[in-house]
Structure 1
Amino acid sequence: MKFTPKSSSSCYLGLTAAGLVKVTFPFDAVTQAQLRKVRPRGIWRGTRQGWEFPLVAAQHLQRQFGSRFLVQDDLAQWLSWFEQPLPPMPPHRDLVSYADLEVVLTDGRRPLPHQCSGARWLLARRGAVLADEMGLGKTLTSLLAARAMVRCADVRVMVVAPVGLHDHWRIEAASLDLPVCIHSWARLPRELPAAGTLLLVDEAHFGQSIKSRRTQALLRLARHPRLRAIWLLTGTPMKNGRPDQLYPLLAAIDHPLARDQRKFEERFCQGYWRDQGGQRRWLSRGASDLDALGKLTRPLVLHRRKQTLLGLPPKRRQEHRVVLTESESRGFDHRLALVTDNYRHRVQQGLVRSDAESLAVLTALRQIAAEFKLPAVETVVAALLAEGQAVVLFSSFVGPLLLLQQRLGGELLTGRQRPGQRQEAVNRFQSGMSSLLLATYAVGGLGYTLHRARHVVLLERHWTPGDVDQAEDRCHRLGMDGGLTSHWFQLGFADQLVDSLIASKAERIEVLLGSRRVGLKRQPLPVMLRCCMQESLRTVSS
């Protein structure tokens, strides 16, 4: 079936960017009523976008409407593949035997026991989330399982990973003599080979926004009829503590909970309709019933902790409350007053209406605090370097890192560098050529092994617990010598607010992935910011 260009009066069946069936037609009540009866149910997106149905409804839609609706080429190809399914995989016990989990790798390593058990767990599931903590070797675990599938059937292994991690994946795959095809998150293919593909998705939390293009591109691959299996790798499956971020991952592995997005959001995201400016909007950014969500997802989400499996040296957090001189305090209060006065003016004018305003103000306050903390941070870092310690320092802002590099030297790791330059900086640090690495959370907290450092300094904290854990765990991982001290510098109410947010969101994540029950007491960000702004206004005025 060929698709002809759409006209204003055309009716057609096609695929959305996320691999769902799209039904578009000039609105008429009869067709609308017929589509409402289709099962599984679809979602009406309005007259411009039409209906969206799960892929399992494609054949039914073709039978019922194929005589009246044109079928796009990509959907026609997928329908033909459904009629010629891939042959089944061997039983689980045969797959495990082909994995050769006890065999020494070509580089002389032997897989650790938890990596072998993780590989066996993956081989029992077509879709799964390997959510082990950072530093447990999820890459090798997934490749061990992938090698078994390749040995048993005609399977291609496709890896999706950030560009900075491609070399790591190539090295690990080479240790298993396993051919892999690696794609970046920015350039995902639209189709898979006809023979069948195993999809390994590293840093899967990159796909936690259901509306982003890369998430939709991932879901299209996850729903492809030539997909053998999909295994998602992430140490932070609910990075910001919100179930709506977990939903796309569950949809990618075809978890039953994700087959009805609206029901998922009503139950776990406090979803509700709200009238705004004469329009009804569906809001679903809350969190509820996390105990049940954890129990229902546990069969397909494997989360294990380093302390339990490896017995790593402890990680200790040390708080440093920065005390400013009198002149510094005047300058700090003046900078805060400019931001708070502007915020108060916007509140009085009725211009503050969204979370975006709150986040913008909070970011400005964090950046001001970061600048005023630099002298205290420089003193602590210089003392550690004088003792011969290796130090990694993280910040959300490039400016303070550049200033510290001018004063202390060291390697820089930011998004302004090419991937090769970043790896060279990491290599110089790990080899001992430099004892200080200055990194942004967005770059340094992603995929690099920095276990030479026994001290990590967080100039300020990112408000996402996953980013904070990722940064610390770049150093706290297998192969480190001694314990890790994480230095948290705190100045002013902005740092207090962010640290309280981290603790609150971490509680949600613990409820979902942890074994113990945690009570939740959390206010929305705008409310928390408003309270802190009032406290700041009292401080500045006094």
Structure 2
Amino acid sequence: MRRIRPRGFWHSRHQGWLFPFEAAQLLKNQFGAHFPIDPALQQWLEAVDHPLPPLPTHANLVAAADLNAPLSDGRQLLRHQRAGVRWLLARRGAVLADEMGLGKTITALAAARSLLRCSDSRLLVVAPVALHQHWQREALSLELAPQLLSWARLPQEPPPAGVVLLVDEAHFAQNIDAKRTQALLRLARHPRMRAVWLLSGTPLKNGRPVQLLPLLMAIGHPLARDRRAYEELFCNGHWRQAGARMVWDCQGASRLEELQRLLRPQLLFRRKADCLDLPPKLRCFRPVLLAASQQKRLDLALQQRLENYRQRATAGLVRSDAETLALLTAMRRLCALQKLPAAISLVQQLRAAGEAVVLFSSFVAPLAQLQRFLGGELLTGQVPLLQRQQRLLRFQAGSSDLLLATYGVGGIGLGLERASQVVLLERPWTPGDAEQAEDRCHRLGSKSTVTSHWLQLGSADALIDALILSKADRIEVVLAGRRRLLQRQPLAKMLNEILQE
């Protein structure tokens, strides 16, 4: 078993060996006479033995893309979009990781149209349900009718004939053990796939190379054929003691510049500043100061939360080793509520100056309070999808000048270029989510400088913001290949410093 290549590994939860699909034929030759072969795997092997007819040359595919012809709605592909189409057509598996707002959707659809014109193929698009209308509109401008799939309901088998698979918000599949990731990998690695193109403005949301591994598996990147080797080389993978047992830890990062060099052939990352003549995006850090009485109430509330957590840990209701994370989450929630007066004052100033404002938070409670005081449109996961779309249209049409949204709803795929003022009540854990939120406004169609206001209250916000910036440096090395001196303290050490304060 250990001599089989690509390598597999023993999975204790499944009580069996896991191998990449590329090892299936060798496994069949070695063990097929001794063990039954799963019928679905047998169908895959037969599909490999009877491959699809070859595609035309790259030059013919580019010619079929007809890149200089106007779309049905009168638009023209921009220069960087035409270059993106040519780049995709040269690859059967790729990650289009352009910054948010560069028009990845129309780029991928234009490339897919060329493949459909040159082969008997179907077009599948995996995207969050909230973005299906957007995909339908863009596909209509190219006279395409894709089959739209939600992340929650991925089929086990693709349709007959060849398939071109486009995957929007591909970072949804960054956890290799998640069910939706496994479902995507099963679909993407099917032998009937003509092309698998993943779209994500944040393919490395949290700065951890292990998050890239499922995406590389989906596109058939050579680095992903040996999972353990990838984790050892680029994720600082090692065995460590956890209580009475040893666990495999691959949440670190190592050899990032080498990783960037090896990713470059199948991952395209471009910045807006390099492709578009857009107004700049500015970040404005706004400190929030509390009166002595307010600070005392905040400290008391935090102490009560900490004592309550420790009591529950003693009773065995929660994990005792997660106290650091629980305390930090409590600090973020409490601080978000304490920043509401400052947020109200800032939004009122911006609206008085005639500005449209988008405000983001991780938490629903402060957003609900802000809406009661300021009005505006509220977008959270508790709002039905149809109502969300109606509220978004009212904001974009100018009927409202304030949009209040959670990162999980407002930060995904929406175009909010009407607003040039973004307020982040507090920051999410990952730099990718912060970038996604800001770039909802800073995108193709922006007409003025976008200013992002980061409200900072005390050490908790300073800690989160420092983590975001340090993770962003790591992402910069992997995607852009820019050398950075990466310095980062452990989370527990930083939090202990805050508690001492």
Instruction: Tell me the TM-score range normalised by the shorter chain.
Output: over 0.9
Corresponding residue number in structure 2 for 1:74: 40
Q: Spell out, residue by residue over 1:338-395, the C-alpha distance to the aligned partner (whole angstroms, 9 max, x if none).
A: 24556788999999764x4322221110010010110111011012112221000000
CA distance in structure 1 between the aligned counterparts of 2:13 and 2:272, rounded to whole angstroms: 51
The answer for unaligned runs of 5 or more in structure 2 is: none
Equivalence for 1:295: 261
Q: Does 1:416 align with 2:382?
A: yes
Q: Give the corresponding residue for 2:448.
A: 482
Aligned AA (2:123): V
Measure the CA separation in 2 of the matches of 1:143 and 1:496: 41
1 or 2 for the larger relative contact order (CA 8 Å, sep ≥6)?
A: 2
Residue 177 to residue 438, structure 1, CA distance change in 2 (3 Å): same
- What is the distance in 2 between the residues matched to 1:464 and 1:186? 23
Return the alpha-carbon distance in structure 2 between the equivalents of residues 48 and 124 of structure 1. Answer: 38
Question: What is residue 191 of structure 2 aligned with on the other side?
Answer: 225
Correspondent of 2:73 among 83, 86, 107: 107
Kindly report which structure 2 residues correspond to 1:44-443, keeping only aligned pairs within 5 A, or say none: 44-46=10-12, 49-340=15-306, 354=321, 356-443=322-409
1:424 shift after superposition: 0.9
- Report the secondary structure of 1:240's partner residue: coil
Indicate if the aligned counterparts of 2:281 and 2:450 stay in contact, CA closer than 8 A: yes
Q: Which moved more, 1:491-500 or 1:276-285?
A: 276-285
CA distance in 1, matches of 2:497, 2:431: 22
What RMSD in Å do the two structures reach over aligned CA positions? 1.9
Q: Which residue of 2 aligns with 1:499?
A: 465
- For residues 224 and 171 of structure 1, what CA distance do their matches in structure 2 show? 28
**Letter of the 2:176 counterpart:** I
Q: Does the C-alpha gap of structure 1 residues 40 and 512 become closer, same or farther in structure 2, counting only changes over 3 Å?
A: closer
Q: What code does the residue aligned with 1:288 have?
A: S
CA displacement at 1:83 relative to structure 2: 1.5
Is contact 2:55-2:119 (8 Å) kept? yes
Distance 1:502 1:143 in 2: 33
- Distance in 1 separating the partners of 2:491 and 2:151: 30
**Residue 261 of structure 2 contacts residue 481 of structure 2 at CA under 8 Å; is this kept in 1?**
no
Q: CA deviation at 1:69?
A: 1.8
Q: Quick check: 2:314–2:320 contact (8 Å CA) kept in 1? A: no
Deviations 1:5-51 (A, max 9, x none): xxxxxxxxxxxxxxxxxxxxxxxxxxxxxx33333332222495322
Counterpart for residue 7 of structure 2: 41
Once the two structures are superposed, residues 314-350 of structure 1 have per-residue CA deviations (whole angstroms, 9 ceiling, x without a partner) of 1111111111223322212222332455678899999
Gap change, CA 1:534 and 1:148, over 3 Å in 2: same
Paired with 1:293 and 1:183, the residues of 2 have a C-alpha distance of 31
Give the C-alpha shift of residue 63 in structure 1: 3.0
Q: Partners of 2:169 and 2:156 in 1: how far apart?
A: 20
Letter in 1 for 2:425: L
1:524 corresponds to? 490
Amino acid at match of 2:79: P
Q: Sort the Cα spacing of 1:293 and 1:193 in 2 relative to 1 into closer, same or farther, 3 A.
A: same
- Do the aligned residues in 2 keep the contact of 1:340 with 1:533 (CA within 8 Å)? no
* 8 Å contact kept, 1:339–1:365: no
CA distance in 2, matches of 1:518, 1:63: 48
Alpha-carbon separation, structure 2, partners of 1:328 and 1:117: 55
Q: Is the 8 A contact 2:210 2:251 kept in 1?
A: yes
Question: What CA distance in whole angstroms lies between the structure 1 residues aligned with 2:468 and 2:119?
Answer: 45
Q: Please, which moves more after superposition, 411-420 or 357-366?
A: 357-366
Distance 1:387 1:321 in 2: 21
Aligned residues: 500
C-alpha distance after superposition, 1:174-233 (max 9, x if no partner)? 100112011011111101123011110000000000110011111111211111110010
Distance in structure 2 (CA, Å) of the matches to 1:413 and 1:457: 15
Separation (CA, whole Å) in 2 of partners of 1:156 and 1:236: 27
Distance 1:45 1:347 in 2: 30
- CA deviation after TM superposition for structure 1 residue 495, in Å: 0.5
Q: Distance in 2 between matches of 1:249 and 1:48?
A: 22
| Equivalence for 1:446 | 412
1:530 CA drift (Å) = 2.4
Report the AA paired with residue 442 of structure 1: G
Q: What is the CA–CA distance in structure 1 between the aligned matches of 2:310 and 2:284, rounded to whole Å?
A: 34
Aligned-partner Cα distance in 1 for 2:257–2:309: 38
Identical counterparts, % of pairs = 59
8 Å CA contact 2:238–2:248 kept in 1: the answer is yes
Say if 1:129 and 1:123 are closer, same or farther in 2 by CA, change over 3 A.
same
Give the direction of change, closer, same or farther, for the CA distance of 1:47–1:330 in structure 2 (3 Å limit): closer
Conserved 8 A contact 2:96-2:197: yes
Q: Report the counterpart of residue 433 of structure 2 in structure 1.
A: 467
CA–CA separation in structure 1 for the residues paired with 2:58 and 2:476: 31
Letter in 2 for 1:67: A
* CA–CA distance in structure 1, aligned partners of residues 185 and 422 of structure 2: 36
Higher mean alpha-carbon deviation, 222-231 vs 466-475, is at: 222-231
The amino acid of 2:466's aligned partner reads: S
Larger radius of gyration: 1
AA paired with 2:494?
Answer: M
Change (3 A) 1:424 1:284: same
- State TM-score, norm by structure 2: 0.96
Segments of structure 1 that go 5 or more residues without pairing to the other structure are 1-34, 536-542
**Alignment-mate amino acid for residue 314 of structure 1:** P
SS at match of 2:339: helix
